[in-house]
Amino acid sequence: MTSRGANHNRPLLEVRDLHVSVGSVEILKGLNLTVNLGEVHAVMGPNGSGKSTLTNALAGKPEYAVTEGKVLYRGKNLLEMLPEERAREGLFLAFQYPVELPGIRVREFLRTALDALREHRGLDKGSLREFNKLLQEKAKELGLDEELVKRSVNEGFSGGEKKRHEILQMAVLDPELALLDETDSGLDIDALKVVADAVNKFRKPDKAILLVTHYQRILNYVTPDFVHVLIDGRIVRSGGRDLALELEAKGYEWIRDAVESGREISV
């Protein structure tokens, strides 16, 4: 058991001057972000601005090299932890493009993951029956077919199923900080509501959410505490819920222009 829940008055996540390169190309160029428990942050930005780079770097994907800056998670240096350690410490990433795992069934996969997390948290394994019940319940809430948990992870899943399956994992694994990378993309309106409900259910004073999206649509259901605009590897503006609406009305060009002409960039 680690210091989960300790350091109450520290932010959950502090990103300071983060620079990340893939290969020889710098993608994040000094990004700052503070997330406290209980908060929902939306990150918006044009294609290729570095949103997924941010979530992947936070989760520790090997090819994303941090060249400068620091990231503290509950006051601890996140960057020196292995990806699996970050996960065990409570960081969860719902992938923008979930990968297929042939022959690994959803049920076994989630059970193995949950066992690893529980062990780290000093809990015992819990019975198989309880697990199956939990899984079934959560799958149902997300409108996923019962049979899906018997299939190979993501293999042959529809786009929407993949996204809902990511949220299913979040619901079962019960992390502390959820990074949702465009989980709303490709969902029809009903599925969007279902996912939003699940996210709202997850939203609690002892959790935090970083929600990457292109559309303010999901923010109608999951009201963010903060909205950040990420352009060209930096957060160029932060604001409240209204910023998303403004963005939707005016497009990114408006912000880009504002930034370039040196007008206010502040929270």
Ligand X SMILES: Nc1ncnc2c1ncn2[C@@H]1O[C@H](COP(=O)(O)OP(=O)(O)OP(=O)(O)O)[C@@H](O)[C@H]1O
Residues that bind Mg ion (CB under 5 A): 51-52, 96
Q: Does 247 bind other proteins (CB under 8 A)?
A: no
Q: Does 122 bind other proteins (CB under 8 A)?
A: no
Structure tokens at 174: 């019960």
Q: Does 224 bind other proteins (CB under 8 A)?
A: no
Residue 224's SS3 state is coil
Contacts to ligand X from residues 181-210, by CB under 6 A: none
Q: Where do we find the tokens 């932890």? A: 81
Task: Name which of 47 and 127 has its Cβ closer to ligand X.
Answer: 47
Rounded to the nearest whole angstrom, what is the least distance from the CB of residue 219 to other proteins in the complex? 25
Q: Which does 116 bind (CB under 5 to 8 A by kind): Mg ion, other proteins, ligand X, none?
A: other proteins
Burial of 188 (0-12, 13-18, 19+ CB in 10 A): exposed
Q: Which does 169 bind (CB under 5 to 8 A by kind): other proteins, ligand X, Mg ion, none?
A: other proteins
Whole-angstrom distance, CA of residue 55 vs CA of residue 178: 10
Residue 130's SS3 state is helix
Q: Does 50 bind ligand X (CB under 6 A)?
A: yes
Q: Does 216 bind ligand X (CB under 6 A)?
A: no
Long-range contacts made by residues 94-97, C-beta under 8 angstroms, separation at least 24?
Answer: 94/163, 94/166, 94/167, 94/169, 94/170, 94/178, 94/179, 94/180, 94/181, 94/183, 95/166, 95/181, 96/52, 96/55, 96/181, 96/182, 96/185, 96/212
Q: Does 213 bind ligand X (CB under 6 A)?
A: no
- Residues near ligand X (CB under 6 A) are 22, 27, 45, 47-53, 63, 96
- Residues near other proteins (CB under 8 A) are 59-63, 82-84, 86-88, 92-93, 95, 98-104, 109-110, 112-113, 116-117, 120, 152-153, 169, 173
